[in-house]
Each structure stands twice: as C-alpha cells, then as structure tokens.
Amino acid sequence: MNRVERLHQRIKENIFFIKNDFPKEKSLQVPRKLHPYMETKRNRTLKPSVVFLINSLCEGGAERVLITLSNYFVQQNYDVTILLLSKNNFYSIPKNVNVVYLSKMNDNLLGIGKLFYIPFHAWKLKQYIKNNDIETVQSSLFRANFVNIISGILGAKHNIQVVNHSVVSRFLKEGISGKINLLLIRYLYPKADMVLHISKQMKSYFNQNFLNNKDEKVIYNPHNIESIIQQSKEPIEKFYFDKNKRYLITVGRLIAIKHVEDVINALSRLDSNIELIVLGQGVEESFLKQRAKIKSVENRVHFLGQVTNPFNYMKQSDIFISSSEIEGFPNVLIEAMICKTSVISSDCLSGPREIIAPNSNLSERLSTGMELHQFGILYAVRDVEALVQSIKKILIDKKLKNKLEENGFVQSHRFSVQNIANQYKSVLLRR
C-alpha cells in the first residue's frame, strides 16, 4: 500500500470513528423567535426557508455570491439562514438573515489545520439539522461541502447540495493539503444529492477527471446590477485619478495563481502615463511590491489593499485585467462590465471564455497570443507580450474601447440576480 492509499484508508477510518464515537455536543437549536423554520414545517402557508453553509464571510467570490443570494431571497420574503464554520465577516450580513456559527475556530489557521476541524463541524451540523428539522442545506466551497456531506454520513437526514466554486485541479499544486482534498472529493462527492458547478468548463473538467454525479447542474454566479451601478457612482476618498493618466486595475487576493506580477511586467513595457491599481491583500503582496521596484514602476503601481467598494475604482479605470492561471467563474469580470469598463482576461480554465467569448469553442485554450471578442480580449496565460498588445489595442482605439464597454454592459445582464436566483430557487426548494 503506497502513501496515498494509506492516507485514503486513514480518512475512511477517521470518518467511521467519528460516526460511532464522537461525543455529543450542546444543541445548536436556534431560538424560535430568530428561526421560524419549525413553524414553516407545520404550516406551509408561512415563509419558505433556505439554509446556506459556507466556511466564513471573508473576502471572496463565493462569499459575495452567498450574500447576493441571501439578500435577494430575504427581499422575496424567504427565511434565510447562513451557517458559518468560522467567524471572519468581511461582508456585511443583510438585514433579517439568520447567522449561526458552528464553532469558534480561528479562520487564520493554515489549510491543513482547518481540515482537522471537518469532523467536528460535521457533527455540529448534524445536531443543528436534527434540532431545527432542516430539509435542505446548500454548501459552498470545498471544506463546507465536505462538512455537509459528512454530516449525512453521521446520520443527518437532509438533502445535501454542494456548490463547486473552484476548479479541482488547483489542489494538484498544494502539497499534502491538496492530496487530502482530492481524496475527500473522490470519496465524498458521490454521496451528495446534487452537485452544482458555476461554469460549464468547470463541470466538464470535473466529469472528465473525477466523476459524473447522478444530479448535476450549471448555474452561473448572480450579480446585483442595480447595487453595483449605484456603488460605482460613490466618490473615492483615498485615491486621486489624474485625468492626464490612463489606469489599469486588478482586483482580488494577492496569491500566486493570480499572477499579478504579469500585469506589473506588462506595465513596465507601457508608456509612463499608464498606471496600475491593485485592490486586495494576500501573501504575495511583498513579492509584488518588490517586483514593481525591480521593474522601476513602483511609483506607477498603487497597492490600495482591501476596499469595501471596488466598483467606483473600476468605474474610473480604463481597463480591468484578470491574469489568473486558474479561475472558477470570475465575478470581477462581470462587475467590471457592469461598471462599463473594458476587460482583458487570461484564457484560463474555467470561466473567462464563457463570459467574454460565449459563442466560441469553450474547450479551447490559447497557448500564445490574444483574441479580440465581442465582450473583451482573451490572452494566453502567462503571455506578457500578448497582454501588452491587448492593453495597447484598447487604449489606442477609442472606438473599440467604447464598443467593448457597451457590449460588456449588455452581456453582464445575463448574470443578474433576478435571472440566476430563479435557477437557485428551483433546486433549493426541491422536496
């Protein structure tokens, strides 16, 4: 038995042990005045209820999707509960949404440390489901998905729905933690009642390399277009946009797979009146600042950290750039389109091509160069020269820039919360 097989066997043994010997925890029943689900069970004329599960509400695309959906369902007179594995609330919780923390775990733990909490969280979830008579729990992100499925193994009687927000291949480069995640996916996902994917190519990759579930569906991420437009008009207090300069912008976590250094390298080959705004934080920040210094553009790259409203920055910028090696369904591309900002994206797996070039062959990937499409430009991953040419093409041609902005704005309405929420409603309310 090799190392991977031994690890797989240990995971199975641990799950069996937890199912039979995990100590009982204090009931997680929510006070009736805060959670009317029990009344709903007895009287179907009252509000329908939905229950979401996610790791936390830290800064991220999946977290923003959950907040958008929760806010919409509350406005539609639903009872909404968000279950959280840990507390890290970057996003504001919508009014009238019930929030339950399944533990006091520190969200700053390393990835492998968080995995050890999964059985504990699964037991807590099982208790919550039992005490509140929950029918369906829809989870997002891999760790929350594992918790949701294992709670069923431990005896919870509920409809298990899991949402994939990231391409599974990301774990191939994450060492022992990645191997554990891959084993858990292979062992646990067949036990889910429904698997949702946020892009067609994500589903295709998952099916080719892992499994085909008996019940799968693709639902794109929803966006509150009216809210984003309104926020894009708010004044910016912490940065001054010089009318004599052109601005590129990138938004997201500063981690290796985002390859923000490619944008910095491209900037060093552009005119000096072009500058770059970087919104977000992460472990790569020091490296990126050093890269800007090495390329002698440190005065042209503005690291502004996390901001609660990135949309007014997008609105004021000339081009939004996504340079990732891998993505799920990049919300920021849609958000930039809503702000009427031209978009350039690496042609990575899985979502960018479906957004920018939906009528092209979605299984194709550029190996070099760039492609101009109706809603933006795609360039080959890590091809800095292609990125430079893409930026120049838009900045030089004002007519093209205006056309991409208008086309992108129209395209963004495909992903409105009104359109997407109805698809979520159809699966959440299955009985």
| pLDDT, tens only, 54-66 | 999 987 889 999 9
Say whether both 392 and 331 belong to one domain.
yes
pLDDT, tens digit (0-9, with 9 covering 90-100), for 154-166: 999 999 999 999 8
Q: Look at residue 167 in the predicted model and tell me its pLDDT.
A: 83
With bands split at pLDDT 50, 70 and 90, how would you rate the model's confidence at 128?
very high
pLDDT greater than 60 at residue 3: no
Query: Could you list the residue range(s) of the whole structural domain that residue 95 is in?
Result: 3-222+416-428
Say whether both 287 and 393 belong to one domain.
yes
Q: CATH number of the domain that 12 lies in?
A: 3.40.50.2000
Beta-strand pair 274-279/301-305: parallel
Residue 69: its H or E element: helix 61-75
What region does 317 belong to: left with phi over 0, alpha with psi -120 to 50, or beta?
Answer: beta
Say whether both 285 and 166 belong to one domain.
no
Q: Look at residue 177 in the predicted model and tell me its pLDDT.
A: 82
Per mean pLDDT, which range of 81-95, 328-342, 372-386 is the poorest?
Answer: 81-95
pLDDT greater than 60 at residue 44: no
Say whether both 207 and 340 belong to one domain.
no
With bands split at pLDDT 50, 70 and 90, how would you rate the model's confidence at 17?
very low
Q: CA separation (Å) from 86 to 61, 100, 143, 205?
A: 17, 10, 11, 30
Say whether both 150 and 239 belong to one domain.
no
Distance separating alpha carbons of residues 423 and 15, to the nearest angstrom: 33
pLDDT greater than 60 at residue 43: no
Say whether both 121 and 55 belong to one domain.
yes
Mean pLDDT of 402-417: 97
- If one compares 95 and 29, the residue with the highest pLDDT of the two is 95
Say whether both 265 and 206 belong to one domain.
no
Q: What are phi and psi of 342, to 5 degrees?
A: -60, 145
Q: 261 and 341 in contact (C-beta within 8 Å)?
A: no
Residues 6+ apart with CB under 8 A from 305: 279, 280, 281
Say whether both 247 and 173 belong to one domain.
no
Mean pLDDT of 112-116: 76
Say whether both 105 and 151 belong to one domain.
yes
Say whether both 182 and 253 belong to one domain.
no
Q: Look at residue 178 in the predicted model and tell me its pLDDT.
A: 84
pLDDT greater than 90 at residue 31: no
Q: Look at residue 41 in the predicted model and tell me its pLDDT.
A: 37
Q: Among residues 344, 403, 399, which one has the least CA distance to residue 371?
A: 344
Distance separating alpha carbons of residues 244 and 274, to the nearest angstrom: 9
DSSP per-residue string spanning 330-396 = -HHHHHHHHTT-EEEEE--BSSHHHHH-TTS-TT---SSSEEEETTEEEE-TT-HHHHHHHHHHHHH
Mean pLDDT of 200-215: 83
Say whether both 424 and 334 belong to one domain.
no
Distance separating alpha carbons of residues 264 and 296, to the nearest angstrom: 10
Task: Identify the three-state secondary structure at position 407.
Answer: helix
- If one compares 398 and 40, the residue with the highest pLDDT of the two is 398
Q: Among residues 373, 411, 400, which one has the least CA distance to residue 318?
A: 400
pLDDT greater than 70 at residue 141: yes
Say whether both 208 and 171 belong to one domain.
yes
Tell me, rounded to whole angstroms, the distance of Cα 251 from its chain centroid.
13
The percentage of the chain sitting over the pLDDT mark of 90, rounded to a whole number, equals 71
Q: How many CB atoms lie within 10 A of CB 414?
A: 14
pLDDT greater than 70 at residue 316: yes
Task: Please name the amino acid found at residue 210.
Answer: F
Per mean pLDDT, which range of 14-23, 43-52, 174-183, 264-273 is the poorest?
Answer: 14-23
**Domain total of the chain:** 2
Q: What are phi and psi of 312, to 5 degrees?
A: -70, -30
